[in-house]
Amino acid sequence: MMIKDEKSLRIRKGRKKWYTTLALVLTFVLAAAILVPAGQSFADDPPYSLTVNGGEYAADLAGAGLVFDIYRVATVSGGTWTYGSDFEKVKPASNDSKAYETFANECAGIILAEDADIQPVQTAAFSENAIGLDAGMYLMVPRNSNRTEKADYVTTATKDDGSAATATKAYSATYEYTFTPMLVSIVNDAATQLKATREERKGSLRIVKTLNDYEDREATNEGEVNDITFVFQVDAVLDRGDGNGPVNVFSTVVSKKFSAAEDNVEIAFIENKIPIGATVTVTEVYSGAGYTLTTDETVTGVISADTVMTAAFTNQYDHHLIQGGSVINSFDYSTERGAWDWENDLPKE
């Protein structure tokens, strides 16, 4: 995630002093130094205003309950930065962008460590409204307002060079966002744009079966009892609101063999593979040799983030033995390749 520096910042009307504002957000690429140039002065009436715009994801994030925990890592006076005691040991060794990128990640690691007890100077809601801050250097940590335990929002991101960086995650109704905490220097009013990476949130489906009775005299010519196989087709479609209408986002076939009557047996648990909001149709396409459905053959539902969708089926032996078998084909759509992956349960040679 990267937030760009503002090259042109708002200057409060009516001021006579000449000053400059540096809004530096450190993620993977930095574009400005953080020193206050000699001979320039600060505005004379802090707190200053920092506005964080949502960029391309603004509409979705506006309803996500996003907040920023804002931690002061340094104060500034007369153009000189004084780092807090928790951050002095990791302060930048130079004034280049790479040094401040490293410093930002070090600060995030210190602040967000599981046993750390460093408190933010304020927690501000994400909106187009300005955040009031005194002059200083701050680490801004995005999260959902209802996720207050670090274990619920701290994660690790992989940078472009393959190294790890401390990051946070937040959720909207349909997306999971990953943010690298933002290091910002404030000596005047500033505005910056939020950048993030995101992936569709996935939910889960459970298929269960009740077999009321079982014909235990089913046998092959060798006298062995046959297992009874039940097969289910699973399809999910989602309308992303992009004008393309509902599209297929998940498809697979699952099965389970029974050798006795059983109640509420899990056929399959498809965990965190189907996009949130997708409409799922589960159909029992093969009901075993001599077994009849006593429930509907199709169950339809919508995948949600908070609950597991359950599709339940019940079968009864109909006293008409028919020998049978099955091969299971599974299909999973790869968003990276833009194609379907296919496999079956036949023995691998």
Q: Is the pLDDT of residue 9 over 50?
A: no
Q: Which residues contact 252 (CB under 8 A, 6 or more apart)?
A: 234, 270, 330, 331, 332
DSSP run (H or E) holding 176:
strand 175-179
Lowest mean pLDDT among 31-35, 94-98, 236-240: 31-35
Mean pLDDT computed over 206-233: 77
Write the pLDDT tens digit of every residue in 317-344.
887 655 544 455 555 655 556 555 656 5
Name 207's bridge partners: 268, 311
Mean pLDDT computed over 160-187: 91
**For residues 35 and 264, which has the higher predicted lDDT (pLDDT)?**
264
Instruction: Round to whole Å and give the CA distance between 43 and 13.
Output: 11
Mean pLDDT computed over 103-114: 95
Assess contact for 192 and 6: CB atoms under 8 A: yes
Name 142's bridge partners: 68
Q: Is the pLDDT of residue 110 over 60?
A: yes
Going by C-alpha positions, the residue among 345, 349, 348, 347 that lies closest to residue 231 is 345
pTM of the model: 0.69
Mean pLDDT computed over 143-158: 94
Look at phi and psi of residue 277 and say left if phi exceeds 0, alpha if psi is from -120 to 50, else beta.
Answer: left
Write the pLDDT tens digit of every residue in 265-284.
999 999 999 999 999 999 99
290 three-class SS: coil
Mean pLDDT computed over 292-305: 95
**For residues 32 and 49, which has the higher predicted lDDT (pLDDT)?**
49
Q: Which residues contact 222 (CB under 8 A, 6 or more apart)?
A: none
Topology classification of domain 202-344? Immunoglobulin-like (2.60.40)
- Burial (CB < 10 A; 0-12, 13-18, 19+), residue 90, is middle
Q: Is the peptide bond before 46 cis (omega within 30 degrees of 0)?
A: no
Residue 311 amino acid letter: A
